[in-house]
Amino acid sequence: MTHSTMTSDDIFQCTQCGECCTGFGGTYMTPEDVERIASHIGVSRDEFIETYCQMVDGMPVIALGEDGRCVFFRDNCSIHTVKPRMCCAWPFIDAVERAPSNWDLMADACEGIRTGVPHDEVRRIVRGEIDKLDEARNEKGSISPHLSGKKA
């Protein structure tokens, strides 16, 4: 397979190991993420933030449970259908597009990430996945303007 025909499935296969849900990684949430998850679990926005989040730089971040994993991780993600944008994007995140060497660093903690992929290919694939996620969220009307590149 030539690198130009590689897809996201060629460089990442989720094993559902939960390692991406372990440790403080700063899973920032958009206002839409907060509303969607709060509604899903049947609490108010304020109760959700107070009970399930930490505030970091004025933004809600999913808190960790006593086991060091996301408070919503049980045997698997208990909010999978409404999980935050950042979780939906993993490992195709902005930080990898900006610095593709992050891909190799993330592979140390994620057994599903394929290493040895040229950084230009990683950047191309990550950009494509970010665009797909943003397009899907825009179609549903549930993404913040700052994430979609549009002005509020």
Domain boundaries, the chain: 22-79, 90-142
At residue 148, does pLDDT exceed 90? Answer: no
Helix (H, G, I), strand (E, B) or coil at 69: strand
Q: What is the pLDDT of residues 5-46, one digit of tens each?
A: 899 999 999 888 888 888 766 788 899 999 999 999 999 999
pLDDT of 43 reads: 98
Q: What is the pLDDT of residue 24?
A: 65
Residue 36 CA to residue 42 CA, distance in Å, equals 10
User: What pLDDT, on a 0 to 100 scale, did the predictor assign at position 139?
Assistant: 65
User: Considering the entire predicted model, what is its pTM?
Assistant: 0.74
DSSP output for 8-39: HHHHB------GGGBS----B--HHHHHHHHH
Q: Which two tokens stand for residue 77?
A: 């993600």
Q: Specify the pLDDT at position 1.
A: 53
